[in-house]
Amino acid sequence: MPFDYSLDFDSTDFREQPELYRVGRGEQGVLLVEPYKSEILPHWRFKTPDIAKESSEKIYEMFLDYEKKDDFVGMDMARKFLQMGYTRSRRYANYKGGKKYDEEGDVKERQIDSEKAESAAIFEEKWKLAREDEDYLSRKKEHQKKYG
């Protein structure tokens, strides 16, 4: 089931109402779902490999904490932030300033930034751990079966 963008995200607490949460595809809803956005976003950084390492470790630690608390929505949101750390740092690794398109709307030529590529690899490692976690996959399947 696709992510439901019709919800009132300003007044919905998904910890209190996990039945309203839809996994969606990829990073859908990552900057909307509270209280998780406010809990995870302050730790999400990828400017340098050292910062990416610290950030990805903290977010993965949060993933495991949500798991211990039987909080699938929190687990999925942490997974989405790890994925977004990978995709955003890859974008900045491939295109100076993170801008893929020029003023005319054409795709710019790639200019690989090795530091950002390293940040991407750091996030990718933690993202893979989260997305392949057996408990996460089981909870995801159960959530989708129960709520859509």
The string of DSSP codes covering the chain is ----TTS-TTT--TTT-GGG----STTTTTTTSTTHHHHHGGG---SSHHHHHHHHHHHHHHHHHHHHTT-HHHHHHHHHHHHHHHHHHHHHHHSGGG--B-TTSPBPPP---HHHHHHHHHHHHHHHHHHT-HHHHHHHHHHHHHH-
**pLDDT reading at 2 higher than 80:** no
> For 117-134, how does the pLDDT look when each residue is reduced to its tens digit (9 = 90+)?
999 999 999 999 999 999
Domains held by the chain: number = 1
Q: Is residue 143 part of a domain?
A: yes
pTM of the model: 0.92
Q: Is residue 23 part of a domain?
A: no
* Summary mean pLDDT of the chain: 95
* pLDDT attached to residue 22: 94
* pLDDT attached to residue 90: 96
> For 15-31, how does the pLDDT look when each residue is reduced to its tens digit (9 = 90+)?
999 999 999 999 999 99
Domain that holds residue 118: 29-147
